[in-house]
């Protein structure tokens, strides 16, 4: 339940940043669009985000056409890493096998550059 709420709130924060923060809008305009998602390996808890300069859409589940997916081993590791989403935390999680990146690592860097503006 806690992870579901965190992922839903992330969607609200992304939409809010698009409306209120010029730096976020500018960076997203440079990227044009980014479709990504977060979920557990078993996909019991998952949410996707479709971000474009025109707006941000979010919904449950992980569609197959996403640019980037962050899959966490379990709910506890997802909560632990997402509370302090630093680059080191993600790298340590990947090395320990708690996080799996599906997609291009370059898209992860683009996402991190956007999330700095939240």
Q: How many domains does the chain have?
A: 1
Range of the domain at 24: 2-115
Asked whether 48 and 58 are in contact (CB, 8 A), the reply is yes
- What was the pLDDT predicted at 68? 94
Asked whether 55 and 36 are in contact (CB, 8 A), the reply is no
- pTM attached to this predicted model: 0.89
- What was the pLDDT predicted at 55? 94
Distance CA 70, CA 101 (A): 5
Which two structure tokens, joined as six digits, stand for 97?
């096998």
- What was the pLDDT predicted at 88? 85
Length of the chain, in residues: 118
- Mean pLDDT, 10 residues at a time, over the chain (118 residues)? 92 95 93 93 95 95 93 93 84 90 88 86
Residue located via tokens 């935390």: 89
- What was the pLDDT predicted at 112? 85
Q: What is the CATH number of the domain that holds 88?
A: 3.30.1050.10
Instruction: Name the H helices within the chain.
Output: 2-20, 22-31, 75-83, 87-96, 105-115
- What was the pLDDT predicted at 99? 92
């Amino acid at each position: 339940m806690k992870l579901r709420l965190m992922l839903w709130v992330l969607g609200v924060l992304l939409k809010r940043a698009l409306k209120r923060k010029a730096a976020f809008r500018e960076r997203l305009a440079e990227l044009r669009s980014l479709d990504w998602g977060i979920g557990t390996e078993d996909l019991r808890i998952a949410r996707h985000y479709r971000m474009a300069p025109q707006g941000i859409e979010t919904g449950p589940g992980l569609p197959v056409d996403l640019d980037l997916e962050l899959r966490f081993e379990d709910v506890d590791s997802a909560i632990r890493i997402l509370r302090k989403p630093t680059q080191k935390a993600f790298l340590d999680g990947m090395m320990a096998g708690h996080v799996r990146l599906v997609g291009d690592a370059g898209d992860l860097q683009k996402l991190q550059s956007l999330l700095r503006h939240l």
